[in-house]
Amino acid sequence: MRVAMYYNNKDIRLEEMPVPEIGRDELLVKVMASGICGSDVIEWYRLPKAPRVLGHEISGEIVETGSDVKEYEEGQRVFVSHHVPCMECRFCQRENHTVCETLRTTNFDPGGFSEYVRVPSINVEHGVYPLPDEVSHEQAVFIEPLACVIRGQKKVRGIEDGNVVVVGSGLTGILHVQLAKSRGASNVACTDISDYRLEMARKFGADAAIPASDAVPDRLRDALGGLLADVVIVSTGARKAIEQSWSLVEWGGSVLFFAPTDPDTMIPMPFNDIWFKNVTATTSYAAGKQDILDAIELIASRQIRVQEMITHRLGLGETAKGFDLVLRAADSLKVIVEPQN
């Protein structure tokens, strides 16, 4: 089978690998669509394990089932979660699935930028979701990023009937905009350095789109009738954006840090201001089963618009072009690789 082998952001090669052989409790899935995630182009995160086949936002069709697999059948359309928790450890018992050690070590084989993937037993047990008829394969690549957004917003209070600002208007930022609006936020503003992304944020429901600059707090007050945001969602790892987030949050508000920085980055914080203002700060990584089920429902019911977010559809041999589009972030929102093309 063909795979797009990642060596670095500028070196992605179309190569051949054997189709994976499955065990009796595993599945073989033909990958129909695989999204390029912003995390795929973070080299400090990816290079230590290169060369490898990336791609974790996938949908596909089951083409072979192991002899012991009874709950799935050939021909089923599915979303497959690459990271799954053990459901047994202390963290899982407390429904804190995304810090489960197992979740961080599980994956399918070899990766979504390939024609087929082997789904290991634990992923079959905890990470395979049949797709409803209302969700196409290309729409299903949004399930994983939307589930992560859902989990993040569950961790903060004040979105319903509150004022929200999303810092960073890439794909996940705009999903945050849409989800906050669907949850009843009074106003949702966003910021970004890209005019293109600000325009896209407006298209998908942002009430105000503010160019990133030192004047963002004043512009935000103008947009919110003199107030700052009850909830600040930082959907970028840019140091300046993270530092600025403290100046955007209202008294008693919440800040959600949704993206990582480079590993050695240290971020100062105005501790006394945060303490006196009673600000709650939290982080969010990955998603759990209920978040995925919620994401499927929101996409199927069209409460979250994903179809229009797709800006590029590429064949497997064009994966390198897709990485370049995501890296430049100039005129793309969601880039999808179709491995069967």
pLDDT in the model for residue 121: 98
Query: Is the same domain home to 90 and 166?
Result: no
**Residue 151, domain member (yes or no):** no
pLDDT in the model for residue 191: 98
Exposed e or buried b per residue across 189-198, where buried means at least 16 C-beta atoms within 10 angstroms of its C-beta: bbbbbbeebb
pTM: predicted TM-score of the whole model, two decimal places? 0.97
Query: Is the same domain home to 188 and 296?
Result: no
Rounded to whole angstroms, the Cα distance separating 45 from 206 reads 31
User: Per-residue pLDDT tens for 234-285?
Assistant: 999 999 999 999 999 999 999 999 999 999 999 999 999 999 999 999 999 9
Query: Is the same domain home to 170 and 267?
Result: yes
The neighbour count for residue 240, using CB atoms within 10 Å, is 13
Give the chain's mean pLDDT.
Answer: 97
User: Per-residue pLDDT tens for 74-115?
Assistant: 999 999 999 999 999 999 999 999 999 999 999 999 999 999
Rounded to whole angstroms, the Cα distance separating 85 from 286 reads 11
Query: Is the same domain home to 252 and 166?
Result: yes
**Residue 150, domain member (yes or no):** no
Q: Quick one: what percent of the chain has pLDDT higher than 90?
A: 99
**Residue 132, domain member (yes or no):** yes
Query: What is the SS3 assignment for 151?
Result: helix
**Residue 202, domain member (yes or no):** yes
Rounded to whole angstroms, the Cα distance separating 161 from 157 reads 11
Q: What range does the domain containing 125 cover?
A: 2-144+287-338
Query: Is the same domain home to 56 and 111?
Result: yes
Query: Is the same domain home to 23 and 120?
Result: yes
Rounded to whole angstroms, the Cα distance separating 134 from 259 reads 30
User: Per-residue pLDDT tens for 105-144?
Assistant: 999 999 999 999 999 999 999 999 999 999 999 999 999 9
Query: Is the same domain home to 185 and 248?
Result: yes
**Residue 223, domain member (yes or no):** yes
Question: If pLDDT is split at 50, 70 and 90, which confidence band does 201 have?
Answer: very high
**Residue 128, domain member (yes or no):** yes
Query: Is the same domain home to 256 and 307?
Result: no
The values of phi and psi at residue 95, to 5°, are: 60, 30
The neighbour count for residue 145, using CB atoms within 10 Å, is 22
Euclidean distance between the first and the last CA atom of the chain, given in angstroms as a whole number: 12
pLDDT in the model for residue 231: 98
> Count of domains in the chain?
2
What pairing do the DSSP bridges indicate for beta strands 52-53 and 2-8? antiparallel
- Residue 318, CB half-sphere, CA atoms under 13 Å: how many? 15
In terms of C-beta density within 10 A (0-12 exposed, 13-18 middle, 19 or more buried), how is residue 133 classed?
exposed
Residues near 54 by Cβ (< 8 Å), separated by ≥ 6? 4, 6, 40, 46, 111, 112, 113
User: Per-residue pLDDT tens for 316-331?
Assistant: 999 999 999 999 988 9
**Residue 149, domain member (yes or no):** no
The neighbour count for residue 51, using CB atoms within 10 Å, is 13
pLDDT in the model for residue 154: 97
pLDDT in the model for residue 273: 96
Amino acid at 166: V
**Residue 165, domain member (yes or no):** yes
Question: Which of 265, 283, 301 is the C-terminal boundary of a domain?
Answer: 283
Question: Which of 283, 299, 326 is the C-terminal boundary of a domain?
Answer: 283
Query: Is the same domain home to 277 and 326?
Result: no
CATH number, domain at 101? 3.90.180.10
pLDDT in the model for residue 193: 96
Average pLDDT of span 61-73: 98
CATH number, domain at 272? 3.40.50.720
Q: Is the CB of residue 147 less than 8 Å from the CB of residue 294? A: yes
Query: Is the same domain home to 293 and 277?
Result: no
Average pLDDT of span 42-52: 96
Query: Is the same domain home to 220 and 309?
Result: no
User: Per-residue pLDDT tens for 148-174?
Assistant: 999 999 999 999 999 999 999 999 999
Between 132 and 214, where is the model more confident? 132
Query: Is the same domain home to 139 and 20?
Result: yes
Residues near 226 by Cβ (< 8 Å), separated by ≥ 6? none
